[in-house]
Structure 1
Amino acid sequence: MSDATTVLLVDDQELVRHGLRMIVESTDDLAVVGEAGTGEEALVAVASLRPDVVVMDVRMPGMDGIEATRRLTHEHPASRVLILTTFDLDEYAFSGLRAGASGFLVKNAPRAELLAGIRAVAAGDAVVSPRATRALLDVAVPRLPRAAVAPSALFGGLTERENDVFVAVAQGLTNTEIADRLVLSESTVKTHVGRVLAKLDLRDRVQIVILAYEHGVV
């Protein structure tokens, strides 16, 4: 299909890539446009193929998936990254999110979950709940240096209501829960979330959680 979501598969194991290709190509709305076995190959492939979604393994020889994610999300922001990890609370998963990935899934995720994850990332959503991200952060953040920019300087452009929404998202609340807490409609909450993302130049809700942890907001 001409309007199919294009996917690049990155993993150093050919059998894994083959299995992923079979799953992705089992549906009409997704199309595999290429494969790569290293981070370096992934960067070259993204530059030439411009895929909508990159399904990225993190543990590869040479340039790993974390560095590849950091570089390609900076150089080709239109291509979104879905990290594949071995364990749910893998510190590599957090590093991938911090590098700019839009979410992560475990390698043994069910077929339907993988396909739904690729579609969600392509649509601009995050493929990991803020609560799951917070669990990762609880493990990883104590070992990371604090951000150098003061929260007041970074968040000063938010209105009072936007700041309330920012904190609520960082605490892992859904739009429905935020609406109940702040006595707002869900559509209004979505609008505020969109403005927060735009003002802080963030890709998705997961990035809000990460930013809040890095600056000690939550």
Structure 2
Amino acid sequence: MSKIRILLAEDHLVVRNGIKLLLDGQANFEVVADVDNGKDAIDKITSGLAVDVVITDLSMNNMDGLQLIKEVSLNFPSIHVIVLTMLDCEQHVLKAFEYGAKGYLVKNIGSEELIFCINHIAKGGRYLSEEVTMGLINKSIAYSKMKNIEVDPIDIDLSSRELEVLELLGEGYTNLEISKKLFLSKRTVEGHRQNLIDKTKSKNTPALIKFAVLKGLIQ
């Protein structure tokens, strides 16, 4: 039985090493490369590395996960891409599948679900993690109960990193706490927060959070 050859793209070294250790422990998996950005992933594939599945985060420097999905889907359609991220907002889920992803997982899933997802997708299937699926269902239910609130669709053009910061702001984290969780400087986080306020035309952070909830960007 041939092994499923996996390329892992994840910019946090500790997380990447942990995932690699888990996958290499499976008899039918082989992590043939692990990189910290999308460009290096594309370079590995272009150089001739045989890959069946790419597992990628979304927030990475030097080509993020969404761009990586587009590049792989366009130029290497036989390779299946699975998103593994902490971002569970509807906007990113839809974009990932629109660009060609075959699976979408959040990072707090169990190892059994990750292994099942890889095997399922390697056979030609698609997969959306249970948590994301239930989140979308619950959001749909909530929308049906809020018919009196009219929301016009807008193009906010938020980056993956900005949405990551937005989710943590919605959970009540401070700039300093967010900087530690995302391995960013406090100044960079402050810049992302201000960009979010500017792009959404919010007066302040509480108004930003209210806007994000109403627009379905966070729960």
Instruction: Tell me, yes or no, if structure 1 residue 111 matches structure 2 residue 111.
Output: yes
SS in 2 for 1:82: strand
Partner of 2:133: 132
SS in 1 for 2:109: coil
Partner of 2:77: 77
Give the alignment's TM-score, normalised by structure 2.
Answer: 0.58
SS in 2 for 1:49: coil
Tell me, which stretches of 5 or more residues in structure 2 are unaligned? 144-151, 156-219
Partner of 2:55: 55
Partner of 1:31: 30
Aligned partner letter, 2:95: S
Give the Cα–Cα distance (whole angstroms) in 2 for the partners of residues 8 and 38 of structure 1.
Answer: 11
Partner of 2:197: none
Aligned partner letter, 1:7: I
Give the Cα–Cα distance (whole angstroms) in 2 for the partners of residues 22 and 42 of structure 1.
Answer: 19
Tell me, which stretches of 5 or more residues in structure 1 are unaligned? 145-218
Deviation at 1:121, TM superposition (A): 1.2
Instruction: Tell me, yes or no, if structure 1 residue 13 matches structure 2 residue 9.
Output: no
Counterpart contact for 1:4–1:31, Cα < 8 Å: yes
Counterpart contact for 1:54–1:79, Cα < 8 Å: yes
Give the Cα–Cα distance (whole angstroms) in 2 for the partners of residues 75 and 133 of structure 1.
Answer: 33
Counting matched residue pairs gives 143
SS in 2 for 1:7: strand
Cα deviation code 1:86-127 (max 9, x no counterpart):
143353232211110001000121001111111111111001
Give the alignment's TM-score, normalised by structure 1.
Answer: 0.58
Give the Cα–Cα distance (whole angstroms) in 2 for the partners of residues 67 and 59 of structure 1.
Answer: 10
Q: Structure 1 residues 37 and 73, CA, compared in 2 at 3 Å: closer, same or farther?
A: same
Give the Cα–Cα distance (whole angstroms) in 1 for the partners of residues 43 and 91 of structure 2.
Answer: 26
Give the Cα–Cα distance (whole angstroms) in 2 for the partners of residues 33 and 53 of structure 1.
Answer: 10
